[in-house]
């Protein structure tokens, strides 16, 4: 078990060693986002801009016009919520080489409550032209994604979670932007999941196996550009479920639904996620139970739609 944000912090340190153009910015939360690890190694390439997210995002854009690969980091909600227009103009439209990293995304943030539980960040970033959107499922994938995003020239958003996550991937895992990973094959249904929900989807598949259902799990770690082939393949089972720690409007569920509709794929379909409402303060585990986000709920959803 390891928090996904730790993989981001480690990835930055490794990347900093091999790429001298990498700079890291933070907005006063470097202890939580793990960018303080980069600061320790490369103090001259680290910029703590203070609690000034909008200022940070445009400064990152400025640095990138001088050849820097700029990682601008904060809690997802504040990083994006406070800077939509800065991102729209100085990052997306300007196609600057800025990587936005939002930690503490989703209901899984827990006790800090809804002001800190970003549940619409993916929606905001999906609707931003030129933006790549990545949601790693574990710390290693986050580390690999940091390298892939640095390779990619242009704007990107990487969504990180606070809580501990299962460790799925090892050092030889190859992360490719736009490529989904099949975590488990299955004939009766496929759960397409992102981030901390991959672990919940795996738990659901296990529950369903005991019920005699062979259910696959796909880790859709890039939401934009979306791996359409992986969705078309999943649809062959006739049952597709999406699982995200994000509003079901505008996130993974919506993205998958768009492909299913455009490709005229006739499947049973359900979106697991925040049901267009704010959650509350509480331990992440209890919130997942109350708001229908854990493996049990995913399993129940698979059964309910598979029956119809």
Partner 1 sequence: MEKLGASELKEKGKEFRRTILKTIANAGSGHPGGSLSEIDILTVLYFRQMKYDAKRPDWPERDRFILSKGHGCPGLYVVLAEAGYFPKEELTKLRKIGSMLQGHPNNSTPGIEITTGSLGQGLSVANGIALAGRLDKKDYKVYLILGDGELQEGSVWEAAMTAGFKKLSNIIAIVDNNKLAQDNYVKDLKDIEPIDKKFEAFGWETQRINGHDYEEIIDALENAAKAKEKPQLIIADTVKGKGVSFMENQKGWHGKAPNAEQLKQALEELK
Residue from 4, 15, 25, 29 binding ligand TPP (CB under 6 A) = 29
The answer to whether residue 51 forms part of the interface with ligand TPP (CB under 6 A) is yes
Residue 236 annotated among the catalytic residues of the structure? no
The answer to whether residue 28 forms part of the interface with ligand TPP (CB under 6 A) is yes
Residue nearest to ligand TPP (CB): 78
Catalytic residue selected from 36, 41, 44, 53: 53
Residue 138 binds which of ligand TPP, partner 1, none (CB < 5-8 A, kind-dependent): none
The answer to whether residue 105 forms part of the interface with ligand TPP (CB under 6 A) is no
CA 5 distance to own-chain centroid: 11
Q: Among candidates 108, 109, 135, which has minimal Cα distance to 242?
A: 135
Residue 287 binds which of partner 1, ligand TPP, none (CB < 5-8 A, kind-dependent): partner 1
Rounded CA separation 175/222 (Å): 10
Residue 176 binds which of partner 1, ligand TPP, none (CB < 5-8 A, kind-dependent): none
Q: Give the contact letters, 210-239, x = binds to ligand TPP (CB under 6 A), - = no.
A: ------------------------------
Q: What is the DSSP string of the chain?
A: -EEHHHHHHHHHHHHHHH-TTEEEEESS-HHHHSHHHHHHH-GGGEEE--S-HHHHHHHHHHHHTTT-EEEEEEEHHHHHHT-HHHIIIIIIITT--EEEEEESBSGGG-TT-TTT-B-SHHHHHHTSTT-EEE--SSHHHHHHHHHHHHHS-S-EEEE--SSEE-----TT----TT--EEEE--SSEEEEE-TTHHHHHHHHHHHHHHTT--EEEEE--EEETT-HHHHHHHHTTSEEEEEEEEESSSSHHHHHHHHHHHTT---EEEEEEE-SS---SS-HHHHHHHTT-SHHHHHHHHHHHHH-
- For ligand TPP, the closer of residues 97 and 163 by Cβ is 163
The answer to whether residue 121 forms part of the interface with ligand TPP (CB under 6 A) is no
The answer to whether residue 168 forms part of the interface with ligand TPP (CB under 6 A) is no
Residues 57-96 that bind ligand TPP (CB under 6 A): 78, 82
Count of positions on this chain that bind ligand TPP (CB under 6 A): 5
Residue 111 binds which of ligand TPP, partner 1, none (CB < 5-8 A, kind-dependent): partner 1
Residue 54 binds which of ligand TPP, partner 1, none (CB < 5-8 A, kind-dependent): partner 1
Residues lying near partner 1 in the complex (CB under 8 A): 26, 28-32, 36, 48-52, 54-55, 77-78, 81-82, 111-116, 280-283, 286-287, 290
Interface residues with ligand TPP (CB under 6 A)?
28-29, 51, 78, 82
Catalytic residue IDs: 53
């Amino acid at each position: 078990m390891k928090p996904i944000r730790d993989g981001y912090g480690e990835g930055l340190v490794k990347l900093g060693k091999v790429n001298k153009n990498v700079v890291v910015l933070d907005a006063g939360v470097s202890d939580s986002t793990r960018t303080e690890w980069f600061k320790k190694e490369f103090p001259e390439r680290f910029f703590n801009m203070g609690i000034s997210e909008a200022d940070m995002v445009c400064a990152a854009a400025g640095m990138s016009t001088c050849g820097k690969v700029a990682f601008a980091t904060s809690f997802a909600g504040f990083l994006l919520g406070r800077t939509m227009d800065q991102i729209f103009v100085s990052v997306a439209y300007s196609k600057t080489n800025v990587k936005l990293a939002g930690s503490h995304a989703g209901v899984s943030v827990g006790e800090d409550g809804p002001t800190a539980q970003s549940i619409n960040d993916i929606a905001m970033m999906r609707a931003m032209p030129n933006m790549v959107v990545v949601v790693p499922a574990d710390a290693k994938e986050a580390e690999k994604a940091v390298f892939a995003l640095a390779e990619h020239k242009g704007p990107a958003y990487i969504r990180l979670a606070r809580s501990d996550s299962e460790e799925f991937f090892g050092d030889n895992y190859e992360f490719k932007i736009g490529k989904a990973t099949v975590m488990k094959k299955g004939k009766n249904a496929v759960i397409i999941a992102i981030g901390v929900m991959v672990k919940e989807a795996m738990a659901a598949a296990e529950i369903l196996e005991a019920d005699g259902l062979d259910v696959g799990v796909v880790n859709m770690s890039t939401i934009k550009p979306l791996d359409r082939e992986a969705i078309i393949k999943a649809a062959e089972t006739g049952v597709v479920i999406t699982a995200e720690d994000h509003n079901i409007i505008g996130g993974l569920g919506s993205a998958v639904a768009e492909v299913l509709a455009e490709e005229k794929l006739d499947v049973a379909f359900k979106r697991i996620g925040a049901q267009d409402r704010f959650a509350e303060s509480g331990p992440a585990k209890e919130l997942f139970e109350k708001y229908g986000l854990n493996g049990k709920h995913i399993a129940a959803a698979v059964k309910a739609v598979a029956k119809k």
